[in-house]
Every structure is written in structure tokens, then in C-alpha cells.
Structure 1
Amino acid sequence: MTDWWLWLYVASMAGGTMLFLAWWARPCGVPAIEYQVAVAVPVWSGLWYAVLALGDGRVTDPGGQSVSWARYADWTVSASLLLVALALTATHALPRRHPWLPTTLVGLNVTMIAAGLLADLSAGSRSRYLYFALGTVALLGIFAVIWGPLRSVARRQPDGLHHAYVEAAALLTLLWIGYPLIWLAGPSGAGLLGPTTDTALFVLLSIASKIGWGAFDLARLRGLARRHELALAGRP
């Protein structure tokens, strides 16, 4: 049953890739970099979950639990790309991209993912929850940048784009809160969830985060670009 969920994820990433490529073929005024990032997320993520579905990408921790290191390899890059996509939305209509903001977000994300992997591999519960706490602090740092300086930058854009950023940031925040909660309830934490349920929840949440969120963000940008073109043409 676990393998079924993993292959479902791979198929979903393939479908998401095809969707984003189809939109890229008709960009509707949205810059190519937005589509490149959107496509890279499911391609990278789908490859690593295919590794898991084929029975690889795992090690056994000191307590005898199976740890999916391939999942962390996926998140290190795919989650960083999602943050870059959000930063691109925040600076969509601005002449400068403020590169220090996505760099900070990526650095915090790598710290969060590394802490999560160390927590999964830790032998003792004290060190396990210490690493988990470090990862949680990094996640809170990500939220602080998203809702602090990055939102301030987004406010310099026209109202429509500013609202698009706020909506995308709110959705991403809501989705990402689910990851530590599932970790805490799963085999790595309190053990309230079995391996199959843990995998299923991570799969569903990751599909929503990578394909659902990416489609939402791109659709908003495409809609705003169309409205701008119609306004320039003098059409309602």
C-alpha cells in the first residue's frame, strides 16, 4: 500500500509537469523564469519519489526505523524552489529582484531540512526533539521573512499583484504547517500514525504544496497579466 501512494505521487508530479509545460507554451505575459521554476519542482520531486517507490533511498536509524533520506533530498531542492517562486511573485512587477531575500529563504530551508534529517537519524529522543526544535525555529524564520521583509517588498507592486502575493503566501504557510505536525504524529515522533498513513499524508500534502500551490500561483499571475493586456487594449 505504501508503494501505491508513492507511485500516485510520481504520477501526480508527471501530470503537474505536463500542466506547467502546457501553460508555458502559452505564457500569457508571465516571464519564462516563473514557468521554469514551476516545472523544475515536480520534475525533481517526482524523480526522488520514483527512487523511493523502487525500494531505494532509505536507511535504517539506530532504533531500527526506516528513514527515507530521498524525501529530504527532494525537499532540499523542491521546497527551496517553491520559496524562490514566492519571491518571484513578490517582485513580479519590480525592476529589482532583491536577491538577498530568496537567498535567506533558501538558507533557512536547507537548515530546516538538514535538522529534520538529523532528527530522523538521531539515536536518542532528547537529541531527536532538539533537532526537531531547530528545524521548527528555521521554519518560523521562513515565515518571518515571508510575512516581514518579503511582504513589504510585495507592497510596492500594484494592488492586484500584492494581493496575489498575500494569497500565495497564506496558502504556502498553511500547507507547510502540516509538515511538522505529521512528523510529530508519525513514526519519527509520537508514533500515533503508522508508516502507510504517514506516507499517505506526506504524499497528499506534498501534491498540494508542489502542484496545487504552483498552479494557484501561476494561475493568479496569468489572470492578472490577461487583465492588464485587456486594459491596455481598452477592453473590459
Structure 2
Amino acid sequence: MSSNTILWITTFIMLGGGLLILVTGKRRTPTESLHTLLHGIVPIIAACSYLAMATGQGLVLLPTTDAVAAGAATPTRVFYFARYIDWTFTTPLLLVSLGLTAMRHVRKDYGAITGAVLADVMMIVTAFAFGASLQGWTKWTWFLVSCVAFLGVYYVIWKSQMEANAAERDDVRATYRRNAAILSVVWLVYPVILAVAPDGLGLVGDAASVLVIAILDTVAKVVYGYMAVVSDTKATDRDLAETPAGTTPLRRAA
């Protein structure tokens, strides 16, 4: 299967997944509505990115590291810059949703959520610099910086937000731990595939790397997003059942 075919297929999967989440997600409370919107818009943003790459607008040809070292203009590699634009928008949205899940009823630690988002954006921007770099030493310097920023994201997820989540009720704690684990494992594969893809060491071909990243994107944005919305619906069901008459879940979730 060619890279372009994979990009087109993923475009439609992302679009369909985003619409499915928006249509099936409920909006009985402001919190539930926000989660539905966040997880629904993420795959749609990704669909735009994949459409740009599939049509050739979201990629450029760059010389390989070996070609630059040899002073030649060829061979070239495909640099999919649109995926970094996608990640700059979508991963912060996933982190905001995860943070709000961790602190569903307790007081929100907006500093932790903001810290995770900023570290994430730094990770994506420096990963873009890694992919766009032509010289080996600058490329791997940016890769190292990106990995350090990635550790910052993990610190917030598993330290700061986990501590806040400890004060939540049992179902919210279980949901947060599951969601955090899924994102942590899936996201951990990204730097590995980027390192061995044509943008990095070139050990994996273009089509194979595009396929792996498309699968990761689908799991992180569509599968995970749908699961997160379903879990939020169940939590809202319990919120509504336990909310005393005359009050609203909005005040508890503020």
C-alpha cells in the first residue's frame, strides 16, 4: 500500500470518527458538552492535516542527511510538516480533556494543565525542527530537546494531576488512570517511529512510517476519544443521579 493511499484512507477515518463522536456524545451538562466538543474536533483537525498531506500540500521534499553530508541534492525524503501542525492543536486539546477528567469534581489545578500544554507544544515544535533539520548534529539535538519536553508532559500527567485525582471518587480515579495510561503508551511510540523513519535514521521506509503514525493517530484521536466520551457519559450519569434536587452538576464540576 502506498503512502498516499494510507493518507487518503486515514483522512476519511478521522473525519468519520470525529463526526461519530460529535453525534453520539451527549451535552447534558457544560462539562459533558466540553468533553464531547474537544474529542470530536480533534479527529476533524487531523482529517484536515491528512487531506493536506494526501493532496501534496502538507509535505515537502528535503535532502536526506547522507545527501547533505555528501554535498549532493539527492536522494530526497518526504517531510510531512502538516502532521506537526495537527499535533500542535490536537495534543493540547487531549491534554486539557485529560486534566479536566483528573479533576472532575475537585478544585482544578490550572497551573498543571497549562504546564502540560506548554511542555507539549514545546515537544511538538522541537520535533518539527528535528524533522526539518538537514544536518545530523542539529537534528539529534532537537530530538533530545523534544524528548526532555516529553518527560515534562509525563511528569504532569503522572505526578501533578495524579495527586489531584487522588481526591476524586472511585470511578473518576479509574477513568483517569486508564486514559492516562492509554495516551502515555501510544504517545511513547511516536518518538521511536520518528527516530527510525526517513526523517531520522532512515531504517524504516516512508510507507511503513506513514502507516504506523496513521495507526497511532487513529488510536489516540478516534478510539481513545470515543472511549473518553463514553466514560464521561457514565460519570455524568452518576453526577446527575447523585445531584440533590435544586442544584446542578455544573456547580460541582466548576
With the length of structure 2 as denominator, give the TM-score of the two structures: 0.85
Range moving further from structure 2, 132-141 or 57-66: 57-66
Structure 1 or 2, whichever has the larger Rg, is 2
1:1-236 matches, within 5 Å, as 1-24=2-25, 26-27=26-27, 31-63=32-64, 64-94=76-106, 96-229=107-240
| 1:193-217 CA distance string (max 9 Å, x none) | 1100010000011000111111121
Tell me how far apart the structure 2 counterparts of residues 228 and 90 of structure 1 sit (CA, whole Å).
Answer: 15
With the length of structure 1 as denominator, give the TM-score of the two structures: 0.91
Deviation at 1:106, TM superposition (A): 1.2
Tell me how far apart the structure 2 counterparts of residues 149 and 214 of structure 1 sit (CA, whole Å).
Answer: 22
| 1:73-108 CA distance string (max 9 Å, x none) | 0000011111111011112123x3322122111111
User: Contact (CA 8 Å) 1:61, 1:122: kept in 2 or not?
Assistant: no
User: Contact (CA 8 Å) 2:32, 2:233: kept in 1 or not?
Assistant: no
Deviation at 1:62, TM superposition (A): 4.4
Q: Which runs of 5+ in 2 are unaligned?
A: 65-75, 245-254
User: Contact (CA 8 Å) 2:103, 2:164: kept in 1 or not?
Assistant: yes
Q: What is the aligned-residue identity percentage?
A: 27
Deviation at 1:53, TM superposition (A): 0.8
Superposition CA RMSD, Å: 1.8
Tell me how far apart the structure 2 counterparts of residues 103 and 231 of structure 1 sit (CA, whole Å).
Answer: 30
Tell me how far apart the structure 2 counterparts of residues 139 and 85 of structure 1 sit (CA, whole Å).
Answer: 18
Q: How many residues align?
A: 231
The secondary structure found in structure 2 opposite 1:87 is: helix
User: Contact (CA 8 Å) 1:61, 1:120: kept in 2 or not?
Assistant: no
Q: Against the structure 1 CA distance between its residues 230 and 209, is the aligned structure 2 distance closer, same or farther, given a 3 Å change threshold? A: same
